[in-house]
Structure 1
Amino acid sequence: MDTWTTEPGAPTGVHGFLERWQWYRRLPAELRSLVLETIEERTAEPGEYIARAGEPSMHWYGLMRGFLQMYVVGADGAETTLYCLREGEWGGEGSLLKKEMRQYDLRSLTPSHICLVPASTFETLRQSSIEFNHFLCDNMNERMGIFVGMLAASRLLRPEMRVAKALLMLADKTGGDAQELSIPQHELALICGLSRQRVNIAISELRRHGLVESEPCKGFLLVHVAALRSYVAEVA
C-alpha cells in the first residue's frame, strides 16, 4: 500500500505532505498543479466539527496532524464511532464516490491540521490516474478490514479485547513499537462502545500484562504495539 514517507530536506506544509505520497508524485505536472491550486488547509481544536451528517460531501480529507473521529448518533442520542482517522491518513472517499449526503459526523478529537481536496479535484484525479485509483482501493480495503474487526470485537470479544483493538486502530502502523497516544479516556470509551469505567478496568488489565503504560496526570497512553498485536492474535 502507498504509505507516506519522510526524507531529510523534504518540503514542509501541505506541499510536503503531498510529496510524501507515491500517488501524488506519479501524477503528471498539470494534475499536481491542480491539486496544489485547489487544496485547502485547516486547523481544528478538540471537539470541532469538520463535516456534519446530512450535508453534501464536499472534500477528501488528508490528516497532517491529530485524530479525526467518524461517528453516528442514534435516535436516543447515543454515539457510535465508525473509525478514527490517524495522522498520515486520508478519508471521506466513500461519500464522494457514491455522490451522496454525508452519512456520519466528522470531528476533531485532538488539535488537528487537515488538508481538504475539493470534490471536483478528487473526481478529476479518479478519472485520470490509475495510481490514484489503486491507492483508493487499498485505502478502502484496509479500512473495511478494520470495520469488520471492530464489529466482531463489539459482538464477540471481552471488553479488554475491544479496547486493545481500538488502540491498534489508533496506533501508527508504520511507527515504532512504543507509541504515545494522546486520546482522552472518554473518547476511547466512545470508540469501543463501552462505559468510561469499563474502559478504565480494561486498561488496567492490559497494563497488568505489560501491554500499555498510562500517565493519568499527563493524559496519554504508552502502547507497546507489537506486544499488543501478539496478545490480540493469541486471545482472538
Structure 2
Amino acid sequence: MSAFLEKWPWFRALSQTSRALVLETARERHAAAGTIIARAGEPSAHWYGLMRGLLQMYVVGADGAETTLYCLREGEWGGEGSLLKAEMRRYDLRALTPAHICLIPARTFEALRRESLAFNHFLTGIMNKRMGAFVGMLAATRLLAPEMRVARALLMLTDAHSEAAQELPVPQHELALISGLSRQRVNVALAALRHEGVVAPASPRGPLVVNPARLRVYVMEAR
C-alpha cells in the first residue's frame, strides 16, 4: 500500500508526521466482485483509493431498480463528498470486479484536509472531474441516443488516457444498469459501436474489448 500512496503528489507533499499518520491508520481490503463495501444510510467512515478493479456507486429506488451514479476506476479516489459533509452515506458502494482498496479513515482524512494545501487542491480536482462526469451522464440520459449513453458508460469504465485496447471485465447486465438502459437496448447499441470500431468481443461470449482512442473520438464527435 505504501507504494500506491507514494505515487500521489499530495502524499509526497505531506509533512513527515502526516505521512506517518496515513501509513499507520490506512488499511487494505480485498473484495470479490459483488461485495458491498459501504451501504447507504451508514456513517461515512473512509476515503477509498482504488488500487485495482472497479467500484460502483449506485442507489436503489423504492421499486428495487438500481441507478449507477459513478464507477471508480483503478487509480481513482472516492467517498470524499460524504466525508466533507459529515453525513450518512447517500449511496451504496460495491465491487463491480475483484478489487483491492486502500481505506483511509475519516479522522485521518480530516487531519490531512486541515494541514495540507496540496491535499485540498487534489480534492478540488477530483470533485470537479466527477461533477463533469455527472453533468455528462445527465445530459446523455436526457438528450442523447442510446448508443452515446453506452459509449459514455464505457468511457467512465476504461482508462481514457490509454491508447492500448482494454478488456472490460464488466457483465453486460451491469453495463445496462450503468447506462440506464434495458439489456436488449444495450445489445443494439453495442452492435452499432462494433460497426464504428469502438468495441469488439474478445470471443463470442467473452468480455468486450474497448478501443479507447476510437471511443474518445466517437464521444467527442457527437458533442
Question: Is TM > 0.5 for Structure 1 vs Structure 2?
Answer: yes
Task: Give the Cα–Cα distance (whole angstroms) in 2 for the partners of residues 219 and 78 of structure 1.
Answer: 26
Q: Aligned to 1:84, which of 54, 68, 71? A: 71
Q: Which moved more, 1:214-223 or 1:93-102?
A: 214-223
Alpha-carbon distance, 1:211 to partner:
1.2
Q: Aligned to 1:183, which of 148, 159, 170? A: 170
Quote the residue 2:148 is aligned against.
Answer: 161
Quote the residue 1:18 is aligned against.
Answer: 5
| Aligned 1:67-216 pairs, distance under 5 A | 67-216=54-203
Amino acid at match of 2:191: S
1:33 maps to 2:20:
yes
CA change 1:217–1:111 in 2 (3 A) is farther
Alpha-carbon distance, 1:172 to partner:
1.1
Q: Secondary structure at the match of 2:69?
A: strand
Deviations 1:29-75 (CA, angstroms, capped at 9, x unpaired): 11110000000110111111000000000000000000000000111
Alpha-carbon distance, 1:231 to partner:
1.3
Quote the residue 1:63 is aligned against.
Answer: 50
Task: Give the Cα–Cα distance (whole angstroms) in 2 for the partners of residues 215 and 178 of structure 1.
Answer: 11
Q: Gaps spanning 5+ residues in structure 2: where?
A: none
CA contact (8 A) 1:183 1:219 kept: no
Amino acid at match of 1:119: A
Alpha-carbon distance, 1:218 to partner:
5.7
CA contact (8 A) 1:184 1:219 kept: no
Q: Percent identity?
A: 68
Deviations 1:155-201 (CA, angstroms, capped at 9, x unpaired): 11110100000101111133234222111111111000011111111
Alpha-carbon distance, 1:147 to partner:
0.4
Deviations 1:196-222 (CA, angstroms, capped at 9, x unpaired): 111111111000111111135563211
Task: Give the Cα–Cα distance (whole angstroms) in 2 for the partners of residues 76 and 126 of structure 1.
Answer: 39
Task: Give the Cα–Cα distance (whole angstroms) in 2 for the partners of residues 64 and 57 of structure 1.
Answer: 20
Task: Give the Cα–Cα distance (whole angstroms) in 2 for the partners of residues 228 and 176 of structure 1.
Answer: 10
CA contact (8 A) 1:66 1:87 kept: yes
Aligned residues: CA RMSD: 1.1
Task: Give the Cα–Cα distance (whole angstroms) in 2 for the partners of residues 201 and 216 of structure 1.
Answer: 18
Q: Secondary structure at the match of 1:142?
A: helix
CA contact (8 A) 2:162 2:213 kept: no
Q: Secondary structure at the match of 2:43?
A: coil
CA contact (8 A) 2:199 2:209 kept: yes
Task: Give the Cα–Cα distance (whole angstroms) in 1 for the partners of residues 162 and 8 of structure 2.
Answer: 16
